[in-house]
Chains A and B, each alone.
Chain A
Amino acid sequence: MRRRLATPRTGGLLALAVVIAVLPAFLPNNFYFDVMILVGLNAIVCIGLNLLVGYAGQISLGHAGFFGLGAYSSAILTSTYDWPPIAALLAGAAGVGLLAFAVARPIMKLRGHYLAMGTLGLGIIISIILTQEVDLTGGPDGMPVYGFSILGWEPSGVLVWYWIVGGLLLLTVWLALNIVESPVGRALRAVHGSEAAAQTMGVDVVHYKVLVFVVSAVLASIAGSVFVHYIGFVTPSEAGFIHSIELITMVVLGGLASIYGAVVGAAILTTLPQLLTFLHDYEMLGFGAIMMGVMIFLPRGLVPTTARLLRDRTR
């Protein structure tokens, strides 16, 4: 039993559930709930992004684009076309999945810097379209969005949203752990380790690159949809380059190829700017410095480094 509790699956999920359940008792006001909800949503995007970047070894500098597309799909379909929010969320996710599938084949042929440039370009194109299509998206000013509702129930108040996002985060972590500890997860890590060897072992490298790109894009889209209903408003900056960089920094800080690392990275880098608002002007400077510092001093990231230290100590 004790051994079981020390595994990332049982012990980690349990710890995360306890943290999510107990945290509200320590949050003094709505502002902190708001921050925690944003942590949860960023964590969901980062888990998907870490499957792509940390596990499969493929970079993406455009993932905020998928988040933005999910957000705007929900905003436009519910506000302009009166779709039920859940249908809009699913349609957005399906649309983003299709888009990711269509661009993945050509874009995943690129490697290293070229893939970074390709995904960067994709994110920028999405963000430009969202800014320029004023009639559809409201342009740079953004657009308001109605609240969420499912089967007549409308969540309201930060506590309800907190539980929704907390539940979604737990579910995402569970699904991601399942993927990682399966033949699919091993194939993804093999693609990262050596494409030549992965191919020779029977792994269809292109298939898995496309698959993980689509999965991570769909997760970002769903998080975007939930985000937009919670906030009630969306602007093109959600899809922007800066947001993409923030997401990547979260993944790298928390730890590449670590599901919990994505959660920890998202928690730290979402919370810090909110608590240090008086340093707002230096926010990007801070992100850059953190990125450099992690690369130099903690190349594995926080969670894998800590896990290794603990493991070596117990030996």
Chain B
Amino acid sequence: MSLLAIESLSKAFGGNRVIDDLSLTVRQGAVHSIIGPNGAGKTTLFNLVSGIYTPESGRILLDGAETTGLAPYRMAALGLSRTFQNLQIFFNMSALENVMVGMHLHCDSRFLPAMLRLPRIVRRDAEMAEAAAGLLRFVGLAEAVGADADSLPYGALKRLEIARALATRPRLLLLDEPAAGLNPAETGEIDDLIQKIAETGVTVVLVEHDMRLVMGVSEHILVLDRGTLLAEGSGEEIRHNPDVVAAYLGEEGRYL
């Protein structure tokens, strides 16, 4: 069964149909990529799936259960997490606390026990701090454990978002341009990190413009164009699909 299924989804902004009767499925496991020209609707699709936007029509199913129109925090509880194309870091907190916010669903977040600082709250907070430090090390940010988020460089913030997303213990992780703005060496590290995440059993879907990263890391590629699914398949199939080559990669296919 597919982990994520999208059926005839549509979303328009002021008459501009950004997602147009789109259907696709993402099966459990491995790394999937969504590519397409600017304005193809990739980020809008992420915003629809994660509940930030509500679609006009169509259905979204996560592991067979309909989730259309659920608020983002409900989606998080169902095992969906994401990063953002434009960083959405909590700059008013430390790096460690950023990750600890990601564990919000896995701790007692009621008001009264927190206000009275019951021993179990303190104990659980210590456990979470340790787990969060572990996640920072996992994404290669061991040195950021004691740092404020606003003191970290751009590349580290991209990883911090990934660590925070992993802290929710997602089944499906959406990465929106994880390599944007990174140099080739940093992109290579992100590549390794994505594979490491996939090996832990998390299904990863990424939107990315860096073709080398996409081709290297993804088992399955979906091509969006003007809000519809233009093609899908393995890297090799996509590379030789004439529609894709014409719409996106250039007539010559010279970027491949």
Which A residues fall within an 8 A CB radius of B?
Answer: 175, 178-179, 181-187, 189-190, 192-194, 196-205, 211, 215, 257
Contact = CB atoms under 8 A, between A and B. Distances in A.
Given A178-B116, A203-B73, 8 more contacts: A179-B114, A183-B107, A183-B109, A183-B121, A184-B109, A186-B104, A201-B164, A211-B111
21 contacts: A182-B114, A182-B125, A183-B104, A183-B114, A184-B109, A184-B115, A186-B104, A193-B93, A194-B90, A197-B88, A197-B89, A199-B51, A199-B52, A199-B71, A199-B73, A200-B82, A201-B76, A202-B102, A203-B101, A205-B73, A211-B111
B50 interface: yes
B89 A201 contact: no
B123 interface: no
Nearest to A195: B88
B101 A186 contact: yes
Given A186-B101, A202-B105, A257-B92, A197 B84 contact: yes
A186 B115 contact: no
Interface in B69-126: 71-73, 75-77, 81-82, 84, 88-93, 97, 100-102, 104-105, 107-111, 114-117, 121, 125
B89 A194 contact: yes
Contact of B101 (A181, A196, A198, A211): A198
B105 to A, nearest CB: 4
5 tightest CB-CB pairs across the interface, nearest first? A193-B90, A182-B114, A202-B76, A197-B88, A199-B72
The interface residues of chain A, by DSSP majority, are classed as helix
Contacts of A257: 92
A184 B111 contact: yes
Contacts of A196: 52, 72, 84, 88
B91 to A, nearest CB: 6
Contacts of B75: 200
A202 B105 CA distance: 6
Contacts of B89: 193-194, 197
B168 interface: yes
Nearest to A186: B101
B238 to A, nearest CB: 29
A203 to B, nearest CB: 5
A245 B105 CA distance: 37
Interface of B: 50-52, 71-73, 75-77, 81-82, 84, 88-93, 97, 100-102, 104-105, 107-111, 114-117, 121, 125, 164-165, 167-168
B114 A189 contact: no
A69 B159 CA distance: 48
Nearest to B50: A200
Contact of B108 (A178, A183, A189, A190): A183
Given A199-B52, A205-B73, A185 B114 contact: yes
A100 B90 CA distance: 27
Contact of B100 (A178, A186, A197): A186
Given A182-B125, A189-B92, A202 B114 contact: no
Contacts of A201: 73, 76, 81, 101-102, 104-105, 164-165, 167-168
Contacts of B125: 181-183
A98 B93 CA distance: 31
A200 B111 contact: no
A203 B104 contact: yes
Chain B CB within 10 Å, residue with most, of A182, A185, A211, A215: A182
Contacts of A215: 111
A179 B93 CA distance: 15
Contacts of A187: 101, 104, 109
A182 B104 contact: no
A200 B90 contact: no
B88 A190 contact: no
A178 B84 CA distance: 31
A189 B117 CA distance: 18
Contacts of B82: 200
Contacts of A179: 111, 114-115
Nearest to B102: A201
A202 B77 contact: yes
A202 B104 CA distance: 6
B115 A193 contact: no
A257 B93 CA distance: 11
Contact of A194 (B71, B88, B117, B168): B88
Nearest to A207: B73
A200 B114 CA distance: 22
Contacts of A183: 100, 104, 107-109, 114, 121, 125
B104 A197 contact: no
A182 B121 contact: yes
A243 B125 CA distance: 38
A174 to B, nearest CB: 8
Contacts of B84: 196-197
Nearest to B116: A178
A190 B91 CA distance: 9
B75 to A, nearest CB: 8
Contacts of A193: 89-93
A192 B92 contact: yes
A185 B93 CA distance: 11
Chain A CB within 10 Å, residue with most, of B51, B93, B125: B93
